Amino acid sequence: MAYPLVMSRRLFRSHPRTVRRLGVLLLAGAALLLIPPVAGRGGEGPNASVAQLIGLEAARQRLGERMPTGRGVIFGHVEGEPGQYAPNTRDGAFKGVNFILRSGESKVFGHANSTARVIYGPNGLAPGVDTVHLFTTNDYLSRGHLRMLQPAAPTREPIRVFTHSWIAPEHPAGSHILRRVDHLVDQRDLIICAGVNNRRQSAVPQLLSSGYNVIAVGTNDANGASSGGYTRTDTPGRCKPDIVGPKGLTSFTTPAVAACAGILLEAADRMPVMIQHAGRAEVIKAVLMAGAVKPWGWRREKDKPLDERRGAGVVNIDNSLRILQAGPSPPGRIHRDFGWDFHALKPGEHATYTFEIDEVKRPLSVMLVWNRRVDGRIGVVGPTGQPVWDGPARLADFDLALSGVDPEGQARLIQLSRSRIDNVEHIYLPQVSPGRYRLDVVRQRDSQGEPWDYALAWRLGGAFDPDGPTGQ
């Protein structure tokens, strides 16, 4: 079953000036959803199974009362159309959750109810989340948050994680929307989880999963039955999705990954004050991706950092919590099997991380993440000649290399991740033999002169798929 494409007449009536400025009408939220409402999804039954598959039960057993639940992390939940975009706020499944209707009054929307059950409430994956701002898709894109094609910056919000279980057709203002989204992630450390489309033959959507700085989410259901084949907007050929959820449609894997992000943010908030940067968007994304488990069939093509349909693999929150909670390690000697770093390099500089292992470890997963920068300013002229808030997009160029070091100190390259268009690089080995190793983060002499932040996250061991990938 698929929704028909429906034009949003309510947006036209309420904001005729905005619509004329856009030159087109946005599609109503109901037309953009990845799947129709599904009764009975979420809740204790399905979520209990998902909790096992994403390592949540393993993390709970390992950490006990110290297990973060997303407490104190405010969410934004986006989908639906005016008057029909909210979950059933009176449902006992959402006990203790304060839903804030940001886009006006709303009837219960079944799809929103199902996706919300994945995250919130006592049986949700992130039961500590108690405040959720709800938006329709149109309101989020326009005056409610992004303020697309307007002479104003996006609104300032207390929201730290957005989940988007919707897609849209190609939009004339698509590149502008993605620049606004990337600006928010980079400047305000938002985590934006956006689903790709279902069906293996579908292309990666323009909105919002083609954003550089978002976390694009697919599914590993039925051997990767969601969008792949790389982006088509703002530099075609970039790897998306970034990560996948286990089974299910992308409407439900997206909030599952968002729940994991909320759990990691609470864990970052709990860290001692002297540990800085744990909650940075680059760190959270790198930690999620480095912790992902490689499913059967995972492989990447030449010069690509990720599998074209499974990204870095299936999200595993136990691995990711181990990485984040191990704390940062600056360039130099790495003394822990799990960890991360947040650092900056100028063009032409590099940072080296060395480590030794005395027994076989499996696997080694290393993720390098950096943001696209969009400064944003008023004065760029839009399609109607009116000034809008916008700005040029800039991207540094990093490489990631793993080398083995012999007893004489000579390095031998084992694996190199060197995409010229992506803002992630990835090293993965199913098994690592005893020996000395070095990781090199290299900043190329790109055209961006200023220092550029990056996040590096790694793990030697942890949960892995027993089937393993079929290739590198």
CATH number at residue 118: 3.40.50.200
CA nearest neighbour of 13 among 77, 80, 83, 101: 83
Looking at the DSSP bridge assignments, the partners of residue 460 are: 364
Domain-embedded: residue 397: no
CA nearest neighbour of 398 among 324, 323, 332, 451: 451
Domain-embedded: residue 357: no
**Model pLDDT, residue 22:** 33
- The residue behind tokens 């540094």 is 396
Below-70 pLDDT ranges, the chain:
1-46, 222-224, 380, 382-383, 465-472
Q: How far apart are CA 244 and CA 42, in angstroms?
A: 18
Cα first-last separation, the chain: 37
Domain-embedded: residue 444: no
Q: Are 87 and 108 in contact (CB under 8 A)?
A: yes
**Model pLDDT, residue 387:** 83
CA nearest neighbour of 123 among 41, 59, 63: 41
**Model pLDDT, residue 156:** 95
pLDDT tens sequence across 365-392? 999 999 999 988 887 676 677 788 888 8
DSSP 228: B
Interior angle at CA 61, CA 56 and CA 64, nearest 5: 105
Domain-embedded: residue 64: yes
**Model pLDDT, residue 229:** 74
**Model pLDDT, residue 383:** 67
Q: How far apart are CA 380 and CA 388, in angstroms?
A: 5
Q: How far apart are CA 192 and CA 136, in angstroms?
A: 16
Domain-embedded: residue 167: yes
> What domain range includes position 310?
9-331
Looking at the DSSP bridge assignments, the partners of residue 162 are: 76, 192
User: Which value, to the nearest 10 degrees, does the dihedral of the CA atoms of residues 71, 182, 237, 417 take?
Assistant: -70
**Model pLDDT, residue 37:** 32
**Model pLDDT, residue 19:** 29
Neighbours of 218 (CB within 10 A): 32
**Domain count along the chain:** 1
Domain-embedded: residue 203: yes
Cα→Cα distances 89→29, 99, 320, 325, Å: 19, 7, 31, 34
Q: How far apart are CA 288 and CA 265, in angstroms?
A: 11
pLDDT tens sequence across 281-317? 999 999 999 999 999 889 988 889 999 999 999 999 9
Domain-embedded: residue 4: no
Helix, strand, coil fractions of the chain, as percent rounded to 5: 25, 25, 50
Domain-embedded: residue 426: no
Q: Whole-model pTM?
A: 0.90
**Model pLDDT, residue 376:** 87
